[in-house]
């Protein structure tokens, strides 16, 4: 199984490490591909869009022609996991908590509204304990870094986990989005769950 991670900017390395742990936990012979160009997308069975800065990731992905190819592949069923900035890339509706709607290149494939920088200044970054039993894991500490919030889902998008008033992990068929950073957590539950989506 080959899993791609978009590797322009942000937590590529951490996702690669967490993926390795998840491969080991599930005894999968896996390979990780750093994806920067459209040709690298043709080899992967699933793709991760990491956290970072969604404006930067979107602009570079568009420039290199990855955005359109990725959008097409996701609509054809390629499993995708977007974490933090990656969840922003996936959502059909994106606003910023401070500046409201701003245009930025996005995939816009998931029936969800995501509000960027939702938690404001005091809580720009914080840790929380989430219970991952819904995807077969246990309780684990995760980190939110200038995190967005998923405030609304519709259509086939289902909430898997919430924190406070907002949703922090949602799924629409082959698409999984988290507003926290599962790659910076002690649990591999989210990555293992994503690998199970690829195996189906």
Binding-site positions: 52-54, 116, 145-146
Determine phi and psi for 88, rounding to 5 degrees.
-65, -40
Please, which residue, 183 or 192, has the CB nearer to ligand GLN? 183
* Binding residue (CB under 6 A) for ligand GLN from 145, 151, 173, 196: 145
Characterize 156-194 residue by residue with b for buried, 16 or more Cβ atoms within 10 angstroms of its Cβ, and e for exposed: ebeebbebeebbbbbbbebbbbbbbbbbbbebbbbbbbb
CA 16/CA 5 separation, integer angstroms: 8
Which residue in 161, 158, 94, 157 sits closest to 128, CA to CA? 161
Q: Min. distance of Cβ 32 from ligand GLN in angstroms?
A: 20
Residue 183 is among the residues annotated as catalytic for this protein: yes
Which residue in 170, 152, 173 sits closest to 161, CA to CA? 170
Helix axes 54-63, 66-75, angle to 10 degrees: 100
Stretch that binds ligand GLN, among 40-48, 81-89, 155-163, 184-192 (CB under 6 A): 81-89
Please, which residue, 9 or 196, has the CB nearer to ligand GLN? 9
Site for ligand GLN in 106-125 (CB under 6 A): 116-117
Residue 84 is among the residues annotated as catalytic for this protein: yes
Site for ligand GLN in 88-107 (CB under 6 A): 88
Question: Pick the catalytic residue: 14, 40, 172, 183?
Answer: 183
Q: Min. distance of Cβ 117 from ligand GLN in angstroms?
A: 5
Binding-site positions for L-glutamine read 52-54, 116, 145-146
CA 35/CA 61 separation, integer angstroms: 10
Please, which residue, 55 or 196, has the CB nearer to ligand GLN? 55
Q: Which residue has the tokens 């401070």?
A: 98
Stretch that binds ligand GLN, among 14-22, 45-53, 158-166, 169-177 (CB under 6 A): 45-53
């Amino acid at each position: 199984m080959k899993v791609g991670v978009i590797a322009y900017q942000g937590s590529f390395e951490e996702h690669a490490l967490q993926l390795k742990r998840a491969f080991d936990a599930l005894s999968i012979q896996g390979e990780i591909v750093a994806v920067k160009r459209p040709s690298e997308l043709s080899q992967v069975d699933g793709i991760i869009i990491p956290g970072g800065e969604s404006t930067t990731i979107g602009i570079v992905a568009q420039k290199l022609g990855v955005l359109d190819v990725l959008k097409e592949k996701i609509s054809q069923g390629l499993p995708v996991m977007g974490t933090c900035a990656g969840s922003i890339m996936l959502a059909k509706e994106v606003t910023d908590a401070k500046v409201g709607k701003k245009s930025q290149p996005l995939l816009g494939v998931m029936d969800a509204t995501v509000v960027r920088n939702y938690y404001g200044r005091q809580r720009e970054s914080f840790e929380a304990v989430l219970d991952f039993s819904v995807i077969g894991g246990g309780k684990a500490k995760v980190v939110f870094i200038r995190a967005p919030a998923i405030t609304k889902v519709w259509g086939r998008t289902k909430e898997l986990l919430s924190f406070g008033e907002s949703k922090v992990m949602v799924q629409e068929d082959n698409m999984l989005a988290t507003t926290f950073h599962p790659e910076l957590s002690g649990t591999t539950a989210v990555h293992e769950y994503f690998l199970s989506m690829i195996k189906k």
